[in-house]
Structure 1
Amino acid sequence: MVEDIKIKIKNYKTAPFNSRFPNQNQTRNCWQNYLDFYHCEKAMAAKGGDVSMCEWYRRVYKSLCPISWVSSWDDRQAESTFPGKI
């Protein structure tokens, strides 16, 4: 299973269709993948697992989200004022 995920990450080109977000506006998809990446990273680190498994979420949010949003969210996380639950 780990190898399958690593192959998918290696062959990744752009965010695939996600039935949770069927509309043209992908703002919520961007936000959810950003949160999912940090949830995954935190959970895998706590379990002592392979954090590279979370790379899929990072690639998806990087392809969907404007850079200015991501940098703003990263800054807010550093300041402990991030509104999302991670």
Structure 2
Amino acid sequence: MRSLTVAQAKAHLSQLLQAVEAGEEVEITRRGIPVARLSPIARERRTGFDLAGFLAATEAQPLHSGSDAASFSRELRAGARF
């Protein structure tokens, strides 16, 4: 693990972040005392989009009762009249 002072870390932040992204850990010290450690974040594996689950959840919503957008808009307008 590489150890740098706060001033060195500030001066070379971009390079430090590249090193951390590559898997390296970096320790930052102030007056010789460790105050912080930069380490890579464990990335979650993304799975593909579940289209079937999305469509099932969408169809289960109460707005999807078989009416189309035009009739739904007409119902809203009719109910909004004073």
Q: The TM-score by the shorter chain falls in which range?
A: under 0.3
TM-score by length of 2: 0.23
Q: Which has the larger radius of gyration?
A: 2
TM-score by length of 1: 0.23
